[in-house]
Structure 1
Amino acid sequence: MLPPLPSPPQRPMGTPGHGVLTTRQKQNRTLMQRKGLGTRGLLVNLITNHFRVNIPAYKLDDYFYQYSVTAAREDGSTVEGIGGGLGRKIIKKLVQTYGAELNGRKVIFDGEHTLFTVGSLPNNNNSFTVVLEDLLPFSSSSRRYGDNDHDPQQDLKRAKRSAKSQMFNVEITFSTKIPMGLIANATNTHSHHQQDDALRVLNIILRQHADMYYDPCLLVRQSFFVNTNQNFNDVGGGVQACRGFSSSFHTTQSGLSLNYDVSTTVVIKAQSVLKFLEESDIVKSHDRIDWAKAERVLRHLRIKVATSQLEFKICGLSEKPCKEQLFAMKFKRGDEVQTRAVTVYDYFKKQHHIATDKSASLPCINVGKSNRPIYYPVQLCELLPLQRYKKALSSNQRSVLVDKTRQKPQDRKDVLERPSTIEGYNMDPVLNACGVSIDPHLTQVQGRLLSAPKLIVGCEQRLIPRDGRWNFMHKKLRRPVDMQRWAVVNFNAYHNSRWFCEGLIRSGRDKGLNIAPIYRIFEEDACMRNEPPGVRVEKICKKIEGTYSFDERPRFLLCFLPEKKNCNLYGPWKRKCLMDWGIITQCLAPGRVNDQYFTNLLLKINAKFGGINSELDLEDGIKIPLISRCPTMILGMDVSHGSPGQVDVPSIAAVASSREWPLMSRYRASVKTQPSKVEMIDSLCKPTETGDDGIIRKLLIDFRRTCENNRRPENIIIFRDGVSESQFNQVLNIELDQIIKACKLLDNDEAWNPKFMVIVAQKNHHTRFFVPNSPENVSPGTIIDKNICHPQNNDFYLCAHKGILGTSRPVHYHVLLDEIGFSPDELQELVHSLSYVYQRSSTAVSLVAPICYAHLAAAQVAQILKSDHSAESSSSNVEVPSFNGEVSASMFFC
């Protein structure tokens, strides 16, 4: 074992290398430009879901003029948040009324506070009076039906009589102008910000087009969803998968293009509120209702009331059931107005002749405000269509969602090739005013098919993956490990666990693993099945602790869980094993067991124990360009966030780093929590009085301990996942600065300046590739770096995996920085090869393995925190519990 590294000498805060950025760190880095195109690989012709866009030359001298918009009512009160439905109505009416005063300009409204025109308005400051004829005097959230101070029947009559005009004073003030010519001249390396602004205007036109031509229409960023039956698929729990389309303009090497693709979101099923509650398991019976949960789910959803056909937004629920909830009903007796207390149930039964017996014992829906409630019986309320469901889906819902929304390549291509789509855009009056015309045919591009890298398995046997796959039949693992002390824990999950273990031992010996006979199987008592997860885990752990002495405890525990995914025992069990005991564990919930199942399980176990299942032939000797020559560290970085509806759950930053240079197949991970929904990692370097307590320092020390001759990395390659293009500069100038600072603080050697490469991997995009005249997906190893890539920046698309179900989604790699000096071919070969070192499977993965490992580590820690009682009570300030030293450097996440 290598001797421990000496502690860095203390130096005063503020000296170089102790929290102060050097000149190299202070520079404001910009994205690197493309150095060239790759040439290796077999040329292949493909088509993509991009449509070429043409703008005539005479239009390139035009400008988009940007204006800010404010609106005030007749009494002078400002319209708070002009965005949304009211804002669009005001602008639409303004254009209809004052078309001549606007010089016939086509208006583009972003739905918020900004308006664009093609050509300028007559004046820089414009004032208009807009009259809307069809607005009720009350907002949808405060109409007085069922109000404590009003008679619902009288209020309804008053509302109908008051369906009169409302007047708004609209101010439109000039802000700036944006040249349209920058869009066409995409290869120009200057004025990127203005080019992005012009693209933003064009993309707003696409959103406006969808909102104008489809009613109702749900807009989600650049995707739109229409309320037609064929677009919906039930996924259970009262929610549906809704199919729509995504459309956006992009500048590419070939000029401007329209990216058009199928998109999916999850929406609330349009049905009665009561039916929705029943389907979502909130209402099991009228005497067993979790109304606190029901209120959380229903709050802010929009409904339509059967008696009036009016629409409202749900504010909450009444404290009492419908037959007991009172409100003050006004009535006239002679010339005197009197009030009397009436229940909501009696009112609707008498005034509207509606029997609300079904919801008499249920709370009412409140569509008013907390201090001025407006109640309706649940029975009369229908949920409106196209309302996004923002809560977390269950594992079964996610499985159904994937199954019902996937499309084979040919089916997806047929949908995208429908001529009506592009015809609609070509007929749009605003796009016509911009001179935009779109070619209705999918764009042809040229890609290259990279050869799969050679792999080495046991007994120095070399193999070449076919179609992104290989197998271990009649083969040994590259570096198998011994399993001498191990036991089994069975949470009432698998009734034939001893037979399973015997099959695992036989399969392991075939693969070269020396697995000792099973020592003992710990069965959970049947009476514990209904106990809380933490109690069940603690109970069986006491059995284990009562059986072994501390020195004789098993090194590995195989754990049978009762559920395949999201089992609530997983978190507390992993916490106990990895953080308290320091014991490697593998959880499973067997379904159909065969030799392939045993093989996949053994791959995970061997990797966790420090073994290697297969490695690249490039790793055997000095064959990897620029990496084998000097110590190179590879990092995969990702941040995992809670579900969309969870705002008090911490985000989890995970970094996986390579070890045992010159290998690229061995990794370890370090994980930290950070504030909820924060994407930039803030704990890469955390200077203290005595050094650094950040993520990177631990990984640098580990790399040095496992590197030949105890050397520090001279090259550091960073793969970052989960960031958008708007955050690229933050990765370069915030996260990279932290990493450089961590290097300086390692042992305060100013002469050590490793070179960096930063690459961002994106899967959240809508570019797809198809093989002409073939129903199959593109082949593994397909790479595209021309035609539809960025005109200046260094990016490429890679589809490294074999797409079996649905249409393959390529990974979009953006090279932000390269101080090492890779050629395009060397870099693309490296990224492709890193898709083949994922130790959990015998297939190439779509993302490079370091990022996959960071995903796994973050997901596992998220489950541990979820099960921790302190995580539920202290919101987003939870710290990740320390991993036991026995497992902290292992691939526990495999």
Structure 2
Amino acid sequence: MIEVMFRHYRAKKYEQISNRNFFSIDEEFAKHHDIGGGKCGVTGFFGSLRPAAWKDGSILLNLDMAHTAFYKTIPIIDFLKEIDDYISFDSTLPPYNTRNFSKALKTLKVKTTYSVRSYKIKELHTAGPRKTFFDFTDDKGKTSKVSVEQYFKKVYPQVKLKYPDFNCLNVGNQNKDVFVPTELCIIDKGQKVKKKLSEKEVASFIRSTAVPPQERLRQINKVAERNDFNRDEMLKALTFTISDKPLQTKGRILPAPNLTMDKNRFEPNSGVWDLRYNKFHNPGELKTWAVINYDSRTRDDTLKLKSLLIAGAIKTAGDTEHGIISQCVVSSNVFKCNIQTIVNILLKINAKIGGVNTIVTAIPQRVTGLIDFREPFMILGADVNHPPAGGDSSIPSIAAVVGSYDTSGTKYAVERRAQEHRVENIVDMTEITMNLLRNFRQKVKRPPSRIIMYRDGVSESQFPQVLAKEMMAMRKACLTLTKDGSYTPGITFICVQKRHHTRLFCDEKYVRTQKNKNVPPGTIVDRDITHPTETDFFLCSHQ
């Protein structure tokens, strides 16, 4: 109820996407960024009231910047030009192009230039206004077949069609078709892009959202200033007052663990370590290999193959059809030949062919670790991948769990299952855990004394359900691993969340010492902003 009251005023003023994201179509917080394809990046903010441990239990306002893609408010003709520079409006599109453009236009809301009405696009029709006919009843009650072009000449004589042969838009419904000339339609404002962005659009979108930490803090403070929460009548009714400054709290920096590569032991510095001129801890063996070049600068036939042999297609063929390990490298990185890039590529290749790059050999004594290196331990990682919401309900969700099977936690086996559409808890967790435990016991010659589960993709509302079902399933698997049911290892179940919108910024006195102005790697906060009753913490594990 408190959240609903908080959102009331903001939902009236801004475009609300989901429950907690609000976007300004009028560029209140930042100018829109053109990402191509008739779309633009729009800046808004995330706002949520959350219980916190601050002052022995309080409610804090979680504010953060939010970014998403919206369709530009432009004529459909211009939208199609941004999708395809070479499109011609002087004739009807071929069937293949019609289908592709129809997919891009479907469900878009449009306004018409000749009336106040708005429609939702059903499809791009196969014919233009000149050759699209329908039954028209005139003022005298006489019904006859007329084309869309003829209809507009009679009813809207002031409208002159420039492209009478270009495909019409079908803006009707399941029961009735309604045809409108494409050139008379404008995309209605405030429409979020729900379709998947192209790689080029994603890259442009990410570039537009990347700002330094202090600039992001300035933007968040600007959101608080523009909203002036203390003058919100709904919040006043709750007798809430909200500070105009961010909460200050204390954090700690965890010491980095010691890593071993071949015979050399070293400690990461500021979250990074230099692996140049070192040997892998355990190099993988590669007996047969080949290099395939698809770069246009060195091959004449590349352009013919480019649309087919993209990285995604290579991965699909190699990983799912033929069982061939692959490593794609962008041609620009090959030409630059940067030593650090080469090292990173070699790290990936070695791990893929079964090698071990580095191992953790010691955790500093100041850290009370979950792992005792003198006893075998097992690390699990789990997630459930869901099909799009509102899609075909017959498409299953895919649950995947990986489990380590060596004494250093560097080699992993995988178990995957298809399960009911959009069900978050892993249904076959007992069998999955059992298989991974048996694999561990076979490789290490004894079961692990401790299991650490990192569970991704669980929202806060699903915590009790997932914890109860999956933790119980894991316990059941452990009890059935031995005949007498005596196997009861310690289990630590950690739900990992990345999209929590809690941002940590360095104090002004400290920020000058940081190269990228972020909080240093290893920063942990487990007070004030955490949940008042649940055990949680915020960790920045890398740069």
TM-score, structure 2 normalization = 0.88
- The aligned residue for residue 269 of structure 1 is 72
Select which of 786, 802, 811 maps to 2:527: 786
- Aligned partners of 2:98 and 2:126 also within 8 Å: no
SS in 2 for 1:757: strand
**Are the counterparts in 1 of residues 327 and 349 from structure 2 also a CA contact under 8 Å?**
yes
Q: Judging changes above 3 Å, is the alpha-carbon distance between structure 1 residues 698 and 411 closer, same or farther for their aligned structure 2 residues? A: same
Alignment pair present for 1:658 and 2:392: no
2:365 matched to 1:598?
Answer: no
Residue 245 of structure 1 contacts residue 261 of structure 1 at CA under 8 Å; is this kept in 2? yes
Structure 2 counterpart SS, 1:682: coil
Q: How does 1:615-764 map to 2 (within 5 A)?
A: 615-618=359-362, 627-642=372-387, 647=392, 650-661=396-407, 663-685=408-430, 694-707=431-444, 710-746=445-481, 748-764=483-499
Aligned match for 1:228, one of 10, 13, 26: 26
How has the CA–CA distance of structure 1 residues 670 and 491 changed in structure 2, closer, same or farther, with 3 Å as cutoff?
farther
Counterparts of residues 212-251 of structure 1 (less than 5 Å)? 212-214=12-14, 217-229=15-27, 230-251=30-51
Matched, 1:356 2:161: yes
Name the CA shift for 1:354/1:610 in 2 (closer, same or farther; >3 Å). same
Residue from 111, 118, 124 that aligns with 1:304: 111
1:811-848 CA distance string (max 9 Å, x none): xxxxxxxxxxxxxxxxxxxxxxxxxxxxxxxxxxxxxx
Q: Partner of 2:351 in structure 1? A: 607
- CA drift at 1:594: 2.6
- Decide whether the 8 Å contact of 2:319 with 2:325 is kept in 1: no
Match of 2:279 in 1: 476
- Partner of 2:142, secondary structure, is strand
Alignment match, 1:161 = none
**SS of aligned partner of 2:437:** helix
Letter in 2 for 1:605: I
Going from structure 1 to structure 2, the CA distance change for 1:605 and 1:788 (only over 3 Å counts) comes to: same
Are the counterparts in 2 of residues 670 and 695 from structure 1 also a CA contact under 8 Å? Answer: yes
Deviation at 1:768, TM superposition (A): 0.2
- 2:294 maps to which residue? 492
User: Which residue in the other structure is 1:88 paired with?
Assistant: none
Q: Secondary structure at the match of 1:670?
A: strand
What amino acid is aligned across from residue 724 of structure 1 in structure 2? S
Task: Report the secondary structure of 1:617's partner residue.
Answer: strand
Task: State the secondary structure of the residue aligned to 1:795.
Answer: coil
Within 2, Cα distance between the matches of 1:676 and 1:282? 40
The structure with more radius of gyration: 1
The letter of the residue matching 2:80 is: L
Equivalent residues in 2 for 1:4-83, closer than 5 Å: none
- Name the CA distance, whole Å, in 2 between partners of 1:212 and 1:357: 39
Question: In 2, distance between residues paired with 1:608 and 1:409?
Answer: 35
Contact 2:257/2:363, CA 8 A, preserved across alignment = no
Which whole-Å CA distance do the structure 1 matches of 2:331 and 2:134 have between them? 57
Tell me the distance in 2 between the aligned counterparts of 1:453 and 1:629. 16
Q: How far apart are 1:434 and its partner, in Å?
A: 1.5
* Equivalent position amino acid for 1:287 in 2: L
1:739-771 C-alpha deviation (Å, 9 max, x unpaired):
333334445442223332111000011110111
Q: Secondary structure at the match of 1:264?
A: strand
What's the TM-score, normalizing by structure 1?
A: 0.55
Instruction: Say which structure, 1 or 2, has more relative contact order (CA 8 Å, 6+ apart).
Output: 1
Alignment of 1:174-323 (within 5 A): 201-214=1-14, 217-229=15-27, 230-254=30-54, 255-281=58-84, 284-285=87-88, 286-288=92-94, 290-318=97-125, 320-323=127-130
Matches within 5 A, 1:363-378: 363-378=167-182
**1:440 has 2:244 as partner:** yes
How far has the Cα of 1:576 moved from its partner? 4.1
Deviations 1:560-605 (A, max 9, x none): xx65xx4323211223442xxxx54434344222322221122122
Q: Which amino acid aligns with 1:219?
A: I
2:257 alignment partner in structure 1:
453
> Partners of 1:660 and 1:589 in 2: how far apart?
33
Deviation of 1:723 (Å): 0.8
After superposition, the Cα gap between the structure-2 partners of 1:526 and 1:304, relative to the gap in structure 1 and judged at 3 Å, is: closer
Q: 1:712 to 1:282 in 2, by over 3 A?
A: farther
CA distance in 1, matches of 2:18, 2:529: 24
Q: Deviation of residue 263 (structure 1)?
A: 0.4
Amino acid at match of 1:786: R
Deviations 1:346-383 (A, max 9, x none): 2223432222232x223332333232333221111100
Q: For residues 625 and 211 of structure 1, do their structure 2 counterparts lie closer, same or farther at Cα, with a shift above 3 Å needed?
A: closer
User: Structure 1's 321 and 462: CA in aligned 2 closer, same or farther, altered over 3 A?
Assistant: same
- Give the 3-state SS of the residue equivalent to 2:46 in structure 1: strand
Provide the secondary structure at the position in 2 that maps to 1:758. Answer: strand
Q: Equivalent of 1:573, from 303, 306, 318?
A: 318
Cα distance, 1:695 vs. partner? 2.8
8 Å contact from structure 2 (residues 45, 223) kept in 1:
no
Q: How far is the alpha carbon of 1:494 from its aligned partner?
A: 8.3
Q: Give identity over the alignment, percent.
A: 31
Letter in 2 for 1:418: K
After superposition, the CA RMSD in angstroms is 2.9
Counterpart Cα distance in 1 of 2:341 and 2:39: 33
Deviations 1:517-547 (A, max 9, x none): xxxxxxx9959954995xxxxxxxxxxxxxx
Point out 4+ residue stretches in structure 1 off by more than 6 angstroms.
Answer: none
- Specify the alignment match of 1:508 in structure 2: none
- Partners of 2:124 and 2:81 in 1: CA distance: 16
Is the alpha carbon distance of 1:595 and 1:642 closer, same or farther for their aligned partners in structure 2, counting shifts above 3 Å?
Answer: farther
Question: C-alpha distance in 1, partners of 2:233/2:256?
Answer: 49
Matched residue of 1:702: which SS? helix
Give the 3-state SS of the residue equivalent to 1:437 in structure 2. Answer: coil
Paired residue type of 1:332? D
Q: C-alpha displacement at 1:428, in angstroms?
A: 1.4
- Tell me, yes or no, if the aligned pair for 1:783 and 1:797 is still in contact at 8 Å: yes
For each residue in 1:65-121, what CA deviation from the matched residue of structure 2 results, as whole angstroms up to 9, or x when unmatched?
xxxxxxxxxxxxxxxxxxxxxxxxxxxxxxxxxxxxxxxxxxxxxxxxxxxxxxxxx
Structure 1 position 650, deviation (Å):
4.4
Aligned-partner SS, 1:348? helix
Distance, in Å, in 2 between the alignment partners of 1:590 and 1:639 is 34
